[in-house]
Structure 1
């Protein structure tokens, strides 16, 4: 039960980083960029955010699997 809960926490937290509207911090950062004259589009954010998020989720999945071995 615990590894599933930990996995859901990591997935929800890191999954919000993939898209521009996934978290409030992303929206604020896009607003700051727009004020500085460098607007960030949804597609441009996704181009960088999705691969990074997938890498983070892969590392986190491995961590949760190792963690679950020690919690048994």
Structure 2
């Protein structure tokens, strides 16, 4: 498997069949630091930029809202 953005070239020397490999990394990742009464949520994009970082109470409705967003 090739790295993101790496060119893949065919072994067929008769024609140029170079294509760009598709990205295999997700657009964003949600991390949770789980605690007893509350959690800390951090959303990071594929470039490593923090999109959101905030506490979330350990309540079903609040966790459902976090995952829905």
Between structures 1 and 2, the one with greater strand share: 2
Could you say whether these structures have the same fold, taking a TM-score greater than 0.5 normalized by the shorter chain as the test? no
Between structures 1 and 2, the one with greater helix share: 1
Q: TM-score, normalised by structure 2?
A: 0.30
